[in-house]
Amino acid sequence: MNAEKTGAETTGAEKTGAETTGAETTGAEKTGAETTAAEFERLFRAVYLGLHRRDEKRSALSGPSRAILTHLAFTGPLTIGETAQHLERAQSVVSDMVSQLERKGLLERRADPADRRRSLVWLTPAGVDRLRSDESVLSETRLTDALQHLTEENRVRLFDSLRSLVAVVERSAAVPLLPPPVAAAASTPGQDHPRPTTPRPTTPRPTAPHPTAPHPTPHERTAP
């Protein structure tokens, strides 16, 4: 009996030791992650303070205008109706804002390659440049100068790490954080662009009679 008791005590001690070791390991991993996060935050703050833009007001874009340009940068060319639906704004309001941006040379209308009767709204090269300038938070000149002091290998590792971090954040947020590049597309105004894979409001069509359905009688055809 004493032997059984001693064995049970030994097993309990081993279990307690394992639990303690596991807790210590988890705590160490958490501490390591927190230390890494704190170091990243410190370095990120230093980069921002050293490279952030110090100029005056970035642009004269209003909030609604910026929203339209940014949304088109994500989706590609859309009709005014689709843009209004996506932004949950009245179509007349969006139409007025598109006209204003068109007069400023930031947007243009072009025929839909899939249906020439439809008109699509798309960013002009000036619109792409204005949006990029408006969203920029770092000084491109300072950043370019700083990157020139890194080796090619270090630059590749830096960008690969940042892309991996952005991908993790996007998965957590379940929303894209980086718009697709639009400069090349907008730099060729005459080029047709593929339609984005976004929902298009459609009007339901009446269902056609089934081929096997009996033909209506003359009386049924003349009925109102």
Residue 120 C-beta-side C-alpha neighbours within 13 Å: 24
Look at the block and give the residue holding tokens 């976004």. 198
pLDDT digits (tens, 9 = 90+) for 128-164: 888 888 877 888 889 999 999 999 999 999 999 999 9
Identify the three-state secondary structure at position 140.
helix
CA distances in angstroms from 25 to 30, 37, 151, listed in the order given: 9, 18, 37
Look at the block and give the residue holding tokens 């020139």. 148
Phi, psi of 210 (to 5 degrees): -65, 145
Q: How would residue 105 be classed by pLDDT, with cut points 50, 70 and 90?
A: very high
Nearest 5°: CA angle at 70, between 122 and 107? 30
Distance CA 105, CA 109 (A): 11
CATH number of 63-186: 3.60.20.10, 2.60.120.10, 2.30.40.10, 1.10.10.10?
1.10.10.10
Name the nearest CA neighbour of 181 among 112, 132, 110, 119.
132
Q: How would residue 54 be classed by pLDDT, with cut points 50, 70 and 90?
A: confident
